[in-house]
Amino acid sequence: MTVSSSEKLMIVDYRTGNLNSIKRALARIGISSFISSSPAEIASAEKIILPGVGHFATAMSRLRELGLIDALSRFALVDKKPVLGICLGMELMAAHSNEGDVDGLGWINAKAVRFRLNELGRCKVPHMGWNQISIKKSSRLMDGIQDGSEFYFAHSYHLSVADRSAILNETDYESIFTSAIESGNIFGVQYHPEKSHDLGLRLLKNFAHM
C-alpha cells in the first residue's frame, strides 16, 4: 500500500546520516517519501523522519545553519504531527548531550550520554550489531513486533530518560538502556530499522501508516 500524496513523508536532510538507505527501505514496502532540507517543506509534510549518524554537536550546528530548528519544533510541538528519530536523530530530541556538551531540540526530558562499560567485559563501545528489544508499553509503532525482537544497532551514546513514561523499548548491553521512546506524536529508535530486515520494515510501515 502506497501512502497517498496527501500524506507526504519527508526525510530530513541536515547533511548527515543514511538518507537514501531509509528512502530505499520505504520504497521496498511501497511507501513514497522525499528528502529535503527545506523548512517550508517540513511545514507542509504530514510525517517526518529525522535520521542521523555522527556527532551530536555537529548535527545541531547543521540544523541551525540550515534554519531547520524552528520548523522542526513547530512540526513536533505545535502541529503535533508524527515524527520518527533514528539513532542520532532520536538523540537530538533530548534536552542535552554529553557529546560536545550542547543542548538538543529539547522535545524529550532526557540527556544523551556515552556508554560506561566495564573495560574487562564482553561489551565494547560503540555498540554495534544485533540486539534484542524489550517492549515497555503498547504502541502503534510496535504493531506486529514481538517482545525480544532483534534490531541492528550502531552507536556510542544513548538516552538517559527522566520521564519513564516516555520509554518505549529497553535493551541490555551490559546494563539496561533506553532503545526507543514515544511521547505523544514523537517517536525515536536508537537502532536502525532500515538495516533491520523484515522487522525494521514493519516498524517503518507502522510509522508511515499512522
Q: Which residue has the cell 508511515?
A: 208
Kindly state the helix (H) or strand (E) to which residue 201 belongs, with its residue range.
Answer: helix 197-208
DSSP per-residue string spanning 69-91: HHHHHIIIIIS---EEEETHHHH
- What's the rounded Cα separation, in Å, for the pair 113 and 65? 24
Please give the chain's pLDDT, 210 residues, in tens.
333 333 699 999 998 877 999 999 999 999 999 999 999 999 999 999 999 888 999 999 999 999 999 999 999 999 999 999 999 999 999 999 999 999 999 999 999 999 987 665 678 889 999 999 999 999 999 999 999 999 999 999 999 999 999 999 999 998 999 999 999 999 999 999 999 999 999 999 999 999
Residues carrying an active site annotation:
87, 192, 194
Q: How far apart are CA 123 and CA 194, in angstroms?
A: 24
pTM, two decimals, is: 0.94
Per domain, the residue ranges of the chain are 9-208
- Which CATH architecture best describes the domain 9-208? 3-Layer(aba) Sandwich (3.40)
62 by Cβ neighbours in 10 Å (0-12 / 13-18 / 19+) ranks as middle
What local confidence, expressed as pLDDT, does residue 80 receive?
98
Task: Give CA–CA dist 113/162, Å, rounded.
Answer: 13
49, 23 Cβ separation under 8 angstroms: no
pLDDT digits (tens, 9 = 90+) for 143-167: 999 999 999 999 999 999 999 999 9
Instruction: Give per-residue pLDDT as tens, 186-206.
Output: 999 999 999 999 999 999 999
Burial 21-43 (b: 16+ CB within 10 A, else e): ebbebbeeeebebeebbbbebbe
